[in-house]
A = this chain, B = another copy of it.
Amino acid sequence: MKSGLSFLIAALRSEIDELDQLSRTSALVGTIGRLVHALQRERGISNVLLASGGQRFAAERSAQIAECAGLEQAVRECFDALEADPRRLGNSARLFSRIAWVVPGLDALPALRQRIGALQMPASEATNAFVKVIAGLLAVVFEAADGATDPEISRLLVAMFNFMQGKELAGQERACGAAAFASGRNESVRQQQWLHLIESQERCFQVFSEFSGPELEAQWLAHLPPAQTAELERLRRIACAAPAGVALDPELSPVWFDCCTRRIDAMQTVEERLAADLRQLCTVKIGHARGELANHETLLAQMAHQPAAASSAFFDQPDAPPVAPATSGAPAYGRQLERSILDLVQDQAQRLQAMGDELDTVRASLNERKLVERAKGLLMAHRRLSEAEAHKMLRQTAMNQNRRLIDVAESVLSMAEYLPVDGKP
């Protein structure tokens, strides 16, 4: 029969296990970030190659494909290591399911590249293929963030996911704008899509700022020189604020592309820093938990050499107050042993509760995203809308009704059964 202290230790071991797993998922997220960055570059290069009829960027493309292959290998190794580990995170099933979804996408890259190299597909189709693989990789990151059980790590993972997502939207905006300028004229559909990409991006960076902490946010702002931002906004205005049908200067296409590329490359350095912070945080947390475990194990060994105490302290102990903050500091070994174990148990319970509460707060931002995505999906399926149209519809409703986007999304979901299917009544 095991003592209360044994279960205290079991709880701590569970925490350490979870932190170990989180540390590995965090490393995976960093690796995915690098692959995504490389694929974003390959997407841009492939576009130029296709648009120029094979005249430009052929050599750059070969080098970029080689870089992607190396990073893809690293990501796959992380996936395989995760699969081989018998320990599982709480949401392993969903994480593996996301991985199962994206791996065939990675498998399909060589065939895609062959068709691009042979100039056998339009640039837009190539773009969509890369967008799809990258979305699959980001879905893995989302699940990693959603599965984190430590609030501080979860916070950084949420920041990371939103930053990566914002960066991907910036990449899509680069492609969208380059095509718009190159085409020489404004189109209303493309303008809508473009504005949607800007808006979604800003939402992502807002959430990033909210969760990354002041230091990382400052670094992010430092990477955005005002002159560069001004240039970006000027080009955006030229293309988006003009009425549809107005001519655009095709010479601005490379100017736009370079301006966006500088911005995206700057994002990559912030992302690397975020990934490093994440690894560092995991290491510190694991070290701290292991230290606590060693203390508890010493205590357990002490107990084994003591006669069983008359155990009435339990009933003298006040009920664990559900909200009070955890008391910190080293456990009081000098006091009566049994009593101090009850204190430890109470401290741990309060700490776990405080962690659970904070985790709920952090996850709320992910839930918001899930709800909005589901409402969009519902509108796309039931009203045959594109993703951008569905988003616009939700946003418009929110503005008209002066409600938050998430509230409108909830209303849409709660009315799901009243919506017609595929145009049928």
A residues neighboring B (CB under 8 Å)? 1-8, 10-12, 14-15, 17-18, 76, 79-80, 83, 86-101, 103-105, 107-108, 111-112, 128-129, 132, 135, 149, 310-315, 319-324, 338, 341-342, 345-346, 348-349, 352-353, 356-357, 360, 367, 373-374, 376-378, 380-381, 413, 416
Contacts and interface: CB of A to CB of B under 8 A. Distances in A.
Contacts of A367: 360
Contact of A1 (B10, B76, B128, B341): B76
A17 B88 contact: yes
Q: Looking at A17, A323, A352, A367, which has the most chain B CB atoms within 10 Å of its CB?
A: A323
Contacts of A12: 93
Contacts of A348: 97, 100
Contacts of A14: 88, 92-93, 96
A373 B312 contact: no
A377 B356 CA distance: 16
Given A1-B76, A345-B104, A416-B323, A11 B378 contact: no
A89 B17 CA distance: 11
A342 to B, nearest CB: 6
13 contacts: A4-B101, A5-B100, A7-B79, A7-B96, A8-B96, A10-B100, A89-B90, A100-B345, A100-B348, A104-B311, A108-B311, A111-B311, A132-B319
Contacts of A313: 104, 108
B97 A311 contact: no
A378 B323 contact: yes
A345 B101 contact: yes
